[in-house]
Amino acid sequence: MWCATTVSMTFAGIGPQSINSSGLHSLMNRLQTVLLVSVAGIVSSLFGSDGIVHGQSQSIVTGTVTNSSGDPIAGVSVNTTIPVPDSPRGHYRNVEPVQTDAHGRFDLKAIDFPTRLILGFTKLGFVDQWATSTSDEPLNVAMHRRRTISGTVKDYKGNVVSNARVNVVSLDDIRFPVLRYTTDESGVFQIDQLPAPPFRLVATAESSSPQTVDVDSQTPQNQYELRLLPGRRATFIVKDTKGNPVADASVGSVKWRGHAGFEIQDRTDSQGRCTFRSVPSDEVQYIVSHPDYRDTTIPFAAAKDACEVILTPLEVGQFSGAVLPGVDHHPSLGRVKKSGTASLSEEDRFEGIDPGTGSRGYQSMHLCTADGNVIRPFLQDRELALRYCRHGSPNISADGSTVAFDAREDAPGYDWQDGHVIVADSDGGNARVLSDGMIPSLSPDGSHIAFSRVSKHGSKDGARGQSIWTMKCDGTNLKMVADTGAWGVHWTADGRSLVFIGGVDSDGSYHRWDHLRLYDLETEKTQSVWSSTESPFSSVGFHFNTSHRGRLVVLTGRLREGGEAFGVLDLDRGLESLRLVQPSRSGAIPVMQRTMEFHVSNRFLIVTSGEGGTRHPELWSIDGQQVRQKFPGLPVDREVKDAIYTLDGQHLIAVINSVGN
């Protein structure tokens, strides 16, 4: 971020005034402290255009916007919002947007930009982009047009392969999820949910080695043929430290050629043996896991000889590798015997699922890989996790720094109304209980929080009925926003608004739960996003959610004409922008009263699906070709719900039941 800053401090008896040249020398002698900072040749004057001494700073963010080939794009709208200092509710204000010039360049100016600034870039025909400025360096932003590619998968003899898997992996943007497609009866695939180039196509099929095609901005073709080679074999023998075979251990691929995309998984038999016949000839990174042992990661290439993996059992008093208070032990990682050396480090440790109290009421958040492999319980404070053991409604701030969720005790006399709001750093550390309440939502920088309160708690602070509130994340400055049936509040990513349902107008008119309401944090006025009379919904689910970029909202609701619907809309355009997301083939939509989460790209959602039995998260595309995919690493033997992404796209945080089905 390029900035020019002027800060004026103490003057000896002189207030702000006009200064002529004859008085300048006298003024400078009496000036106790003036700090003048000039960066990148931009010099800020001590005086404003009105000749008045000013005590504020001006910042400039510069940059260039290009297409995927590096050519400049003119007419791109660049916008952002910035926090208002000392705002009682932590609100943000708009910065005057600018457009890129003929060279794709822009200069965005404002008073007092924060050190971390999120900018949005929009232009018709291009996929919206966002970038974060955290330094003095100019930004370079690449935008790309939507693109569809298709192709055919064939075996080494040239025969088409139906039901082959074609995965799409971004080679540049680690936040973009791996997308999974299958070929039809003619071996054909078509993909329109593509990341910006470069990206990789990974084709796999039973008894065949995987093949890849890398596509970059210089690759004009949109039609591809992938030829699979005969499959290679990799055998694993899993034992414990005493040499006994470990049955039912999971063995699965993690990375191949530096990226995800090649996916294969199976379990060991009664002899601890697992054999794959569809692996490549070169090295793949695998993970070996079992509920009673520490997880082990290992690189291994196809070979005649088996890879022997030694798993270290969990000790008494130890849950999946974590150290409990009062237990004296020193766990070690699993060991590997194979041709070559296994390189295992602390980052290879997977602690697994917290068994908690062994009660079905113990439902806690866990940190997982992007594919769902459970790493560890989210909360690092074990005592807090044991007390508040029923978690739900996780939310992450737009800058990715802070996570909030509601939690309650699993004890006699406690029910859903006894929820508390807990806030923690995004790694699960520094957790603290802020207040009673539920369904929390964080301000963009994680400094403030909004949440809902039931009558029996909110009434102590003057609320009538259900109510919504804001407060600082240090536990101070509690303020009511609305009551009399107001519920389910969420902060917009630009920091300007709160979205909720219910409540009353200033004249006492009650608002039904069939439309969304928008509270302006600056003016403290509320308006409806659409009215009850025009609403297609008889009721809107209170687990709607806002996007991490822009002003989108995802919601479920019951339709007046019958049935349920699931869709996305722009808060500033209302119902005219409503896009109903197609249900699954069976007609199922996400579970209404569970968390729905935007991927940071605004192109996908994580929802909780109840289709097929046990609840589990799925990734759904918002528009274009349908994407409905599970997270293959998540446990299939227990309920998993309320999953969210960390904003780097590298991890999931999900609520997992401590007891299997």
Q: Do 164 and 215 fall within a single domain?
A: yes
- Per-residue confidence (pLDDT) for residue 294, from 0 to 100: 86
Q: Do 537 and 614 fall within a single domain?
A: yes
**Above 80 in pLDDT, residue 465?**
yes
Residue that is last in its domain, among 348, 381, 415: 348
What are the Cα distances from residue 193, in Å, to 240, 320, 622? 44, 37, 10
Q: What region, left, alpha or beta, does residue 383 occupy, with left being phi > 0 and alpha being psi -120 to 50 degrees? A: alpha
Q: Do 648 and 591 fall within a single domain?
A: yes
Residue that is last in its domain, among 302, 321, 348: 348
Q: Do 482 and 578 fall within a single domain?
A: yes
Q: Is residue 125 part of a domain?
A: yes
- DSSP helix/strand/coil, 47: strand
Partners of 392 in the β-ladder: 406
Domain range enclosing 41 = 2-142
Q: For 101-115, 191-205, 314-328, which range has the lowest pLDDT when averaged over its residues? A: 314-328
Residue that is last in its domain, among 104, 122, 142: 142
Residue 565 sits in a domain whose CATH number is 2.120.10.30
d(CA 334, CA 289): 10
Q: Is residue 638 part of a domain?
A: yes
Q: Do 466 and 596 fall within a single domain?
A: yes
Q: Is residue 357 part of a domain?
A: no
Q: Do 370 and 226 fall within a single domain?
A: no
Paired tokens of 429: 């550390």
- For residue 586, what pLDDT band results from cuts at 50, 70 and 90? low
Instruction: Kindly provide the residue ranges of all beta strands, DSSP E only, lying in 444-563, ordered along the sequence.
Output: 448-453, 467-472, 479-482, 487-491, 497-501, 517-520, 526-528, 537-540, 545-546, 552-559
Q: Do 217 and 242 fall within a single domain?
A: no
**Above 70 in pLDDT, residue 207?**
yes
Q: Do 499 and 439 fall within a single domain?
A: yes
Region 192-199: mean pLDDT is 88
pLDDT in tens, 121-149: 999 989 899 988 877 789 999 999 888 89
Question: Which residue type does 49 have?
Answer: S
**Above 90 in pLDDT, residue 342?**
no
pLDDT in tens, 348-391: 345 678 777 666 668 899 999 888 888 889 999 988 988 998 99
d(CA 68, CA 84): 35
**Above 80 in pLDDT, residue 19?**
no
Q: Do 479 and 594 fall within a single domain?
A: yes
Write down the mean pLDDT value for the chain. Answer: 82
Q: Is residue 272 part of a domain?
A: yes
**Above 50 in pLDDT, residue 584?**
yes
Residue 67 sits in a domain whose CATH number is 2.60.40.1120
Q: Do 226 and 286 fall within a single domain?
A: no
d(CA 450, CA 96): 27
Question: Which residue type does 299 have?
Answer: P
- Per-residue confidence (pLDDT) for residue 583, from 0 to 100: 67
**Above 60 in pLDDT, residue 38?**
no
Paired tokens of 181: 């497609």
- For residue 59, what pLDDT band results from cuts at 50, 70 and 90? confident
Paired tokens of 442: 């964080």
Q: Is residue 623 part of a domain?
A: yes
Q: Is residue 273 part of a domain?
A: yes
Region 410-424: mean pLDDT is 85
What percent of the chain has a predicted confidence (pLDDT) above 90? 51
Domain count, the chain: 4
Q: Do 543 and 628 fall within a single domain?
A: yes
Query: Which secondary structure element, helix H or strand E, spans residue 122, and what is its range?
Result: strand 117-122
User: In this predicted model, which residue has the larger pLDDT, 17 or 586?
Assistant: 586
Q: Do 103 and 165 fall within a single domain?
A: no
pTM: 0.78
Tokens 């958040």 -> residue: 365
Which positions ≥6 away from 180 have C-beta within 8 Å? Answer: 165, 166, 167, 168, 263, 627, 629
Q: Is residue 632 part of a domain?
A: yes
Q: Is residue 425 part of a domain?
A: yes
